[in-house]
Structure 1
Amino acid sequence: MRKNNTLYLFLIVAITTCVIGCKKMDDTYRQFVENGETVYVARADSIKAHSGENRIELSWLLLSDPKVRSYKVYWDSRSDSLEGNVQKTDEVDTIRVMVNNLDEGVHYFEVYMFGEGGTKSVQTEVIGHSYGDIYKNSLLPRIVRNAEWAPGSSITLELTNASEDAVRTEFEYLDRTTGELTTQFVSSDTEIDTLPNVKAVENEAKIKYRTVFLPDSTAIDTFYSEYSTMTLVKTGLEVDKSGFSILPLDNDAWESHYSNRSPDLMWDGSTTSRPYATVKADMPSSFAIDLGKTVDLTKFRWNDYSGGNNYAYFYNRGTPIHFEVWGSNDPTEDGDWSKWTKLGTYEIKRPSGLPRGEDLTQEDIDRGIEGHEFTFDESQDNNYRYIRFKVIDVWQGSDPYYVWIGELTFWAFP
């Protein structure tokens, strides 16, 4: 008898537990019951939160429930909400909802789907992150460890390792061929790169750069650091003069007027030794130099003789006023000008502006000692071994005369 009582007690407890459990389940799904039938509305499936700048985009899937008509999104403990309509197709549909004007930080979202008659789905939750001024103010451009000029008017860059949220770094500069602003992207995993065809203005190139960031893998907005600017002076290296020699061309006036005024005095490294003097010739008068190797020329300097504080050669006698510089890599012995390319036209100006014969000012003397520097046009090819000077006139006049040169110095990339 005691055994039967125990069995009855167990059955009573089991039935009671089942009734209570079913009542709780009924309470949960009571909202889906209409006219005695259970009506289910599909919930937001595979929901994702995509971070942005003071905004977050929510996306989810609508699978196969044709009863779905609308949605409602709550966020931040239901302090705000938005809603919208949907139209289900026969395919798997993707719903995208942009939540704007969010404070920077983490946000909690609840999404409900609704059908006809106000029936709704169970809740779907997702957490997202919006970014704003705090994040943007923390962004710094990727560090350029080293930047230097390279052949072909290019600039070689060496960068530090990029941070995990960096996508690329953008470099802006003037293109020497088009003269227009161009942008080159350097990816975050690239540490050494080259900016091609950089235009230098007065031997300087200004490079602006900034780094682009994605704060996380879900981000829909990119963020930018402030621009930084670096200035690179283009001088190149002084070309070694030990390989220089005169290039004797048939129609040049390259021979020396005086026996002690030989061409090698143009590259003996001194402006106080005797100057080189060509033979007297009709203007224009020309002479050519073999640099000993092909180089990418950037600039050159013309110095007059200034030995023993003797400045009588400055802006006088055979010092050129107007002249041209030509380059070639395959000259012919007859001096055919069709084998040469003009690299530039130049003028030696007296700083004081006074005519020949007037006493030199201190400014004239200082510039004469310093020499006159000239640059080669960055928009052209300046890779040459042979350089030819065509002197149009000298300070003595345009009648037959000789040309005086104290020292010639070239700068170039190897």
Structure 2
Amino acid sequence: MKINISLFFAALLVMGITGCKKMDDTYKKYVVPEGITYVERAKAVKTYSGLNRVKFTWAAPVDPSVAKARIYWNNFADSAEFKIPGNADSVSYFLNIPEGMYSFIIKTFDDAGRQSVPVEVQGRSIGATFLSNMFNRPLTQSFVDNANGKLLLTWGGADTYNGSIGHELTYTDVAGAQKKLFVAPETAVTTLADYKSGTDMSYTTWYRADTTSVDTLKTAAAAVPGNTVRYRLDKSKFKEIKLPGDANMAWGWVMPNMWDGKTNAEPGFHTADAPFPQHITFDLGVSDFSLYSFRTWQRQGYQYQIGNMKRFSLWGSNTLAPEWGSWTKLGDFTSGTHVMAEGELFLIPPGAAAYRYIRIQVQEPWDGKTVGAFHIMEIELLGNFYKP
């Protein structure tokens, strides 16, 4: 059988042309004749958290046709549009939006409505929930040693886990000027050499929700009333007083030994034997402070024994007179077991006025004798600045 080679190849050519035409017809309806033109998309987009807002930034477009951008969220249900100036160095936009975590879609457009490919980013808005978990850093102690006049503020732990970056302290200096001081979270003690005694202070704790936050959030101010600051009274101002009826000293253990700073080295103070109760008087040198506490150290080697004070009272007066009618009782106290090296702390009942002169009246020593002596190694008094 003979095959006409020319006719065979001609038939194949016709079949190929017909097949290609059918394929073109199939896909032609999906092809845009001039092609799709996209404007430049937002590049290197960054988001920053804020208080009921999110900040967006990205590099300025190189494509001069980019005229605006639109940000979508909630699956395109919500959006915000803004213009992009042609001479912008960068693009920046604040979107006001309720608290929450969001997924955003960003598209850019030219004036003809042509758009870019979408860009997806995540963002966070801070609101009432975060604010409700912001707390002021605790102030555990505010203390002035009157020997040097410096105020020591001791702080509790900072809430760095939830974003605390420190707190701002406001106080009044000795010249009467208001000052502000920022305290870092790692600072445990703040020392103020220029604090004006008796004046109020306050502080606010600062938070940032995360490292991208554009808003520093502040708590309501915590007040530190001036009359809550504790002052260690300056022992260099203390003076011995001997009024009629006061106990006599014995064995060379004189009254100034009670404020010589030696808590466990003899000699201390010692009275002569006499019936109980016995009392002594001394001068604080100032009358600016209402007493907050009284601390005493017992004679070492005789803890809870012999003439260490068991039951006693403290009295105050601004009139140096022996008669009890000019004295006001500050409190009755009973000694108990305690850490000897730290001394024994007695808190004065609140509401006391400020007194310059103090009287210690001992009703009973630890040995329980009705006639005998009592002794004290050291004392320490703390007070609050007094405002009548």
TM-score band by shorter chain is 0.5 to 0.7
Amino acid at match of 1:147: S
What's 2:201 paired with? 207
Of 91, 110, 135, which aligns to 1:115?
110
What's 2:91 paired with? 95
Of 232, 238, 244, which aligns to 1:236?
232
State the shift of 1:68 in Å. Answer: 1.0
Paired residues of 2:142 and 2:229 also in contact (CA < 8 A): no
Could you report, residue by residue, the CA deviation over 1:77-97 in whole angstroms, capped at 9, with x for unpaired residues?
A: 2222121222333xx831111
- Structure 1 residues 181 and 107: alpha-carbon distance in aligned structure 2, compared to 1, 3 A threshold: same
Matched residue of 2:160: which SS? coil
State the shift of 1:121 in Å. Answer: 0.3
Matched residue of 1:157: which SS? strand
Of 215, 219, 224, which aligns to 2:213?
219
Of 71, 77, 92, which aligns to 1:79?
77
Paired residues of 2:143 and 2:232 also in contact (CA < 8 A): no
State the shift of 1:206 in Å. Answer: 3.2
Distance 2:240 2:353 in 1: 14
Could you report, residue by residue, the CA deviation over 1:17-42 in whole angstroms, capped at 9, with x for unpaired residues?
A: xx99xx7xx97xx7xx7x72553311
Amino acid at match of 1:267: E
- Structure 1 residues 121 and 148: alpha-carbon distance in aligned structure 2, compared to 1, 3 A threshold: same
Distance 2:213 2:186 in 1: 19
Paired residues of 1:207 and 1:230 also in contact (CA < 8 A): yes
- Structure 1 residues 195 and 37: alpha-carbon distance in aligned structure 2, compared to 1, 3 A threshold: same
Amino acid at match of 1:228: A
Paired residues of 1:159 and 1:191 also in contact (CA < 8 A): yes
Distance 1:189 1:223 in 2: 19
Distance 1:371 1:109 in 2: 65
Distance 1:221 1:193 in 2: 26
State the shift of 1:43 in Å. Answer: 0.3
What's 1:195 paired with? 192
Paired residues of 2:204 and 2:220 also in contact (CA < 8 A): yes
Distance 2:112 2:353 in 1: 93
Matched residue of 1:134: which SS? helix
Matched, 1:64 2:80: no
- Structure 1 residues 49 and 305: alpha-carbon distance in aligned structure 2, compared to 1, 3 A threshold: same
What's 1:373 paired with? 355
State the shift of 1:218 in Å. Answer: 1.2
Which portions of structure 1, spanning 4 or more consecutive aligned residues, are displaced by more than 4 angstroms?
268-271, 297-303, 367-372, 409-413
Amino acid at match of 2:171: Y
- Structure 1 residues 131 and 271: alpha-carbon distance in aligned structure 2, compared to 1, 3 A threshold: farther
**Aligned 1:328-407 pairs, distance under 5 A:** 365-366=326-327, 373=355
The number of aligned residues is 255
Distance 1:269 1:113 in 2: 92
Matched residue of 1:67: which SS? coil
Distance 1:58 1:70 in 2: 14
Distance 2:214 2:204 in 1: 19
Matched residue of 1:135: which SS? helix
What do you get for the CA RMSD once the two structures are aligned? Answer: 4.3
Taking only the aligned residue pairs, the percentage that are identical comes to 22
What's 2:180 paired with? 183
State the shift of 1:136 in Å. Answer: 0.5
